DNA sequence: CTGTTAGCGCATTCAA
DNA sequence: TTGAATGCGCTAACAG
């Protein structure tokens, strides 16, 4: 009906049993070179392609993985995706990509969907779900790696950037350069990373004996337009700012535009610092000073960790902490 | 063993047959409200999740799709991916993402892999395979949409940018502005789009009565670094150039850097024009003049076309041609 | 080295 | 409105 060639077709045509074909296809068990040859020929001639889903049903292994990110069009995540996919491809896995667009409901949706697909493992990036919901949604997956997010007492692998350190580095850098009024565009309130960066900012402020003020912090969407808009309002309401930390490079680029809008020169009127060091950061004008993290490698390591856990790996909690690094360009100090 | 809850578990627990559970899960057939309620409760209590692969094996529909792109980290493709994924999500599909990195072997690899996964449909972007290979690889898919590539006499859906027109528009723009020596960084030789743009360039040159010269064309990788490198060599060997057309915006940005390297001012010493109009194009300095195309919409339409073909759609060849549009900023003329 | 039996979890007939 | 039988395409566990 479907016209699809099945293993049975091959077996009949090659005059062997199903198992023999199966063995040839999977390179398992000893097979006489002659029959193996014959089977391979028939496979080739008939254009047979094994069905991964039938195999999956029989073996309880689908050969598929899931990658969930807030937004694939954000270079931060597309770089991670490259790393993840690279490793997955090398290991023979196919990966489902899902973007959540910062929408928790959509996140639970795609997670449920991936569970139904019976993926062998999941890389979940920067989850916006609260601990309780996350725990519930993750229960059905055989192997999990979380990036930039952790979950206490759960056997998941974790790989994350030390964003608290990043926040400190960036803040100290500005403070050391003599800045006195450092504002922070903190990104989405649901972002764990954002909170960590703010924590680092607080810590640095405190260590320097400077007071902190809620008026100096403002949430914003994590993209250029949102950053631009937020920065415009923020700068108008806080004319005393000499420096601005931004949730990520996209927001920082938005802030750069806001400065143009408002007639402020960067960095002389306002210093701007981003986070992530996406390629883009070096291409804008002025080139962005930013607190960088290795995204591609993060993706690669996340996938390696996942593969480990899939075959044989203990379900133990395990954590890799990646160090951020300040990249000084022209937008600050 | 696996601990996974199956439909049989639910049936036993709810004291009904498998079929009743199946009907409840799929909202099919008439079911008495009371038993329906009971089944739903058990499903909830047991945390039952239907197995998409078992369903797939039984129905010959997996609820999965494939998206193949040259490079997910290229904004051109990540924007398309967003559109594709958006529509797929709305329709309840999961999508496998595969990047080929311009490697034909990897492309055939992932296509075979997707066929084995028994995806319901495929969106293949900018395939780098030759017609014969492509035809062979595509034979096993139930529904296909190609972007920026076509295949004669094959029932695939096609959606593509009129890149030949784009090439003409960009060239005419430069010619009209008085440029006399217009070079072209043509991108990967395997790119159909690249060839079309060059065709348009030739057509415009011819229409204007200008000679063309092989010395004015040079292939290059389709990213910033490759573009920068190629532009540097190209500009050194062709000092007479007054304008440079670039395969895409990434290459154009590379060319911008090459100009900095060589001490050339843009656009006064050299005008630079890109293709695609990715967001980035407006953010670099000087902002890029480029020949834009709607990438997100392209992804959306590609997926809509695919969904059409999946359910009921004729397998007829069908083609949507998208018009590019010149976006004039500061890098040219 | 090769074949047989059984079942993975579900949906599609048909009956009742 | 509900249930029983059958098979999707493949592999695991045993034979031979």
What's the confidence (pLDDT) of residue A1?
A: 37
User: What is residue A289's DSSP assignment?
Assistant: E
The B182-187 sheet, strands edge to edge: B217-219, B182-187, B243-246, B271-276, B289-292, B325-327
Residues of B in contact with A2 (CB under 8 A): 60
Cβ-based contacts (< 7 Å) between A 57-86 and strand D: 57-59
Residues of B in contact with A106 (CB under 8 A): 89
Q: Show the tokens assigned to A302.
A: 């996340």
Which tens digit of pLDDT belongs to each residue from A2-22?
Answer: 578 999 999 999 999 999 999
Cβ A68 vs Cβ A146: under 8 Å = no
Identify which of B265, B319, B256, B306 has the alpha carbon closest to the alpha carbon of residue B285. Answer: B256
User: What is residue A29's DSSP assignment?
Assistant: S
Identify which of B79, B86, B84 has the alpha carbon closest to the alpha carbon of residue B145. Answer: B84
Across the interface, do B82 and A96 touch by the CB < 8 Å criterion?
Answer: no
pLDDT in tens, chain B (333 residues): 357 899 999 999 999 988 899 999 988 877 888 889 999 999 999 999 999 999 999 999 999 999 999 999 999 999 999 999 999 999 999 999 999 998 999 999 999 999 999 999 999 999 999 999 999 999 999 999 999 999 988 889 999 999 999 999 999 999 999 999 999 999 999 999 999 999 999 999 999 999 999 999 999 999 999 999 999 999 999 999 999 999 999 999 999 999 999 999 999 999 999 999 999 999 999 999 999 999 999 999 999 999 999 987 666 778 999 999 999 999 989
In this complex, the answer to whether residue B90 has its CB under 7 A from any atom of chain D, a nucleic strand, is: no
What's the confidence (pLDDT) of residue B1?
A: 36
pTM for the model? 0.93
Which helix (H) or strand (E) element contains residue A173?
Answer: helix A163-176
Which helix (H) or strand (E) element contains residue B59?
Answer: helix B52-59
Across the interface, do A72 and B85 touch by the CB < 8 Å criterion?
Answer: yes
- Report, as ranges of residue numbers, the positions in chain A whose pLDDT lies below 70: 1-2, 313-315
What's the confidence (pLDDT) of residue A29?
A: 76
- Using a 7 Å cut-off to protein CB atoms, list the covered nucleotides of chain D: 1-5, 7-13
SS3 B122: strand
Q: Does B105 touch chain A (CB under 8 A)?
A: no
Which helix (H) or strand (E) element contains residue B192?
Answer: helix B192-207
Q: Which residues pair with A67 in a beta bridge?
A: A97, A123
Which tens digit of pLDDT belongs to each residue from A269-317?
Answer: 999 999 999 999 999 999 999 999 999 999 999 999 999 999 876 667 7
């Amino acid at each position: 009906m479907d016209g699809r060639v099945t293993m049975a077709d091959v077996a009949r045509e090659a005059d062997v049993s199903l198992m023999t074909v199966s063995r040839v296809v999977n390179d398992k068990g000893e097979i006489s070179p002659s029959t193996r040859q014959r089977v391979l020929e028939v496979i080739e001639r008939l254009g047979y392609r094994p069905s991964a889903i039938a195999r999956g049903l029989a073996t309880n292994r689908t050969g598929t993985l899931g990658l969930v990110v807030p937004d694939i069009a954000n270079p931060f995540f597309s770089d991670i995706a490259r790393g993840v996919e690279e490793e997955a491809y090398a290991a023979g896995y196919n990966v489902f990509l899902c973007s959540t667009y910062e929408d928790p409901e959509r996140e639970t949706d795609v997670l449920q969907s991936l569970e139904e697909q019976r993926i062998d493992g999941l890389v979940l990036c920067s989850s916006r779900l609260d601990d309780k919901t996350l725990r519930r949604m993750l229960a059905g997956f055989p192997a999990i790696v979380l990036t930039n997010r952790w979950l206490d007492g759960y056997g998941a692998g974790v790989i994350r950037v030390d964003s608290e350190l990043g926040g400190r580095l960036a803040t100290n850098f500005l403070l050391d350069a003599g800045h006195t009024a450092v504002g922070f565009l903190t990104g989405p309130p649901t972002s764990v990373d954002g909170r960590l960066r703010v924590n680092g900012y607080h810590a640095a402020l405190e260590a320097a004996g400077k007071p902190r003020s809620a008026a100096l912090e403002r949430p914003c969407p994590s993209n250029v337009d949102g950053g631009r808009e937020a920065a415009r309002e923020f700068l108008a309401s806080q004319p005393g700012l000499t420096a601005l930390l931004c949730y990520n490079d996209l927001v920082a680029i938005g802030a750069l535009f806001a400065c143009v809008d408002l007639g402020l020169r960067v960095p002389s009127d306002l210093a701007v610092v981003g986070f992530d060091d996406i390629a883009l950061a070096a291409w804008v004008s002025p080139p962005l000073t930013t607190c960088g993290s290795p995204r591609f490698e993060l993706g690669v390591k996340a996938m390696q960790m996942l593969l480990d856990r899939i075959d044989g790996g203990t379900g133990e909690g395990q954590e890799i902490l990646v160090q951020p690094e300040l990249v000084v360009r022209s937008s600050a100090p």
